Amino acid sequence: MKILQVSDAYLPFPGGVGEHIYNLKKYLQRLGHSVYVLTTGYPGMQEEIDSNVIRRGEVFLTPPLKIFNNTQLTLTLDLKICSFLKDFYRKNSFDIVHLHGPLAPNLPGLALHYAPYPCVATFHTAFIGTNWNKLAKIIYNKDALKLKTFIFVSKTAKDAVIPPYRGKWIIIPNGVDLEVFYPAPSGRHVEGRVNIGFLSRHEPRKGLDVLLQAFSENEVLKKNASLIIGSSGPLTDYYKKFCKEKDIPAIFMGRIPREKLPEFYRKLDVFVAPSTGGESFGLILLEAMACGTPVLASDIEGYRNVITDGFNGLLFKNRDSKDLSEKLVELIADEKLYQRLRASGLMYVEGFHWLEIARRVEDVYKGVLELC
């Protein structure tokens, strides 16, 4: 099959959607398909990160506003995008067009509107506050009818889109590349101070403030642990100032290059995902588990799609810094609990290898083409 994937968010922009598309493309190609990605341009790129990538316009990053799910959106800024898409489809033929993102006036939404080929879409997003899909249905219901299958990465993502829209749907979760993410030989990764890791954009809903508050309130953590922050974002300067004022032993590493992410996870003793909402799945949870690093996450719905408390990770009460600090201290001190969570996490991720996820998506494509 000749497949076109379309998304505003793609590498080198950090985030789960770009990683999802990159790995799906990689393993669909391994299954023998020809896969292209249509996305936006990013400033400062020295060379293309992958083959068969078509970039159009320039990226525009929104501020993390509540109406945007309290996160930065990546949008394609191109005043000629509509005429480009019409011409692009005339000059190229595809068996399947696969859109990634909500039905909206963005690149995948416009690509769906003009597509003359069978279309499917993967929805990656959960919402806090305003559910955009309930508003978008008024404008985009006609385009939604063009979708042969709605794919959701979790039940949480499905519940944000269905029932506002109607159609055939399936849940296919995110995957993890087990050829890249694998554990270090030892169960404990460092001697001396314990390394606690965080890896999400510095914006309100990612909850770094909750983790920093947990450190500031707990002298055991201050004395025995270091906080390794492998990311950046709009609130980085604010968080650095907070750490200095509260004497928090934090190391801000900036954005970790994707090829160094497995090494980052392997050097941690515990990985913390304190997001306060708006998560549909949690790819970073799988990546950490695959590297043998026990996970502590907020008990939001999206993360409960991945973590079973006490089995393959621990959950703490959302936004509760005291519960977070107590669970961290417990996990650091209890070696049996630590090793059990590590072993269960490694076992759990085996079912999420991207090769198997790609085969499930391939089956969706085949089913759509059989009906067309």
67, pLDDT greater than 50: no
69, pLDDT greater than 60: no
Dig out the tokens for 313 from the structure: 């990770």
Put the strands of the sheet holding 119-123 in their side by side order.
53-56, 34-40, 2-6, 96-100, 119-123, 147-152, 169-171
**Predicted local distance difference test score (pLDDT) of residue 48:** 87
CATH of domain 2-175+353-371: 3.40.50.2000
Contact 33, 126 (CB under 8 A): no
Contact 68, 38 (CB under 8 A): no
On the question of a cis peptide bond just before residue 163, with omega within 30 degrees of 0, the verdict is yes
pLDDT in tens, 143-163: 999 999 999 999 988 988 888
Using a pLDDT cut of 70, give the percent of the chain over it.
93
DSSP 350: G
| pTM as predicted | 0.88
**Predicted local distance difference test score (pLDDT) of residue 62:** 67
What are the CB-based long-range contacts (under 8 Å, 24+) for 49-54? 49/11, 49/12, 49/22, 50/11, 50/22, 50/25, 52/25, 53/10, 54/88
64, pLDDT greater than 70: no
**Predicted local distance difference test score (pLDDT) of residue 59:** 80
CB-based contacts of 56, cutoff 8 Å, min separation 6 = 38, 39, 40, 41, 76, 78, 81, 84, 107
pLDDT in tens, 165-180: 889 999 999 999 999 9
CATH class of the domain defined by 194-351: alpha beta
pLDDT in tens, 298-333: 999 999 999 999 999 999 999 999 999 999 999 999
pLDDT class of 44 with cuts at 50, 70, 90: confident
Residue 35 — φ and ψ, nearest 5°? -125, 130
Across 142-156, 176-190, 245-259, least confident range: 176-190
pLDDT class of 71 with cuts at 50, 70, 90: low
Q: Where in the chain is the domain with CATH 3.40.50.2000?
A: 2-175+353-371, 194-351
Residue 57 — φ and ψ, nearest 5°? 70, -160
Mean pLDDT value across the chain: 91
As a whole number, mean pLDDT of residues 102-109 equals 88
CB atoms within 10 A of CB 107: 27
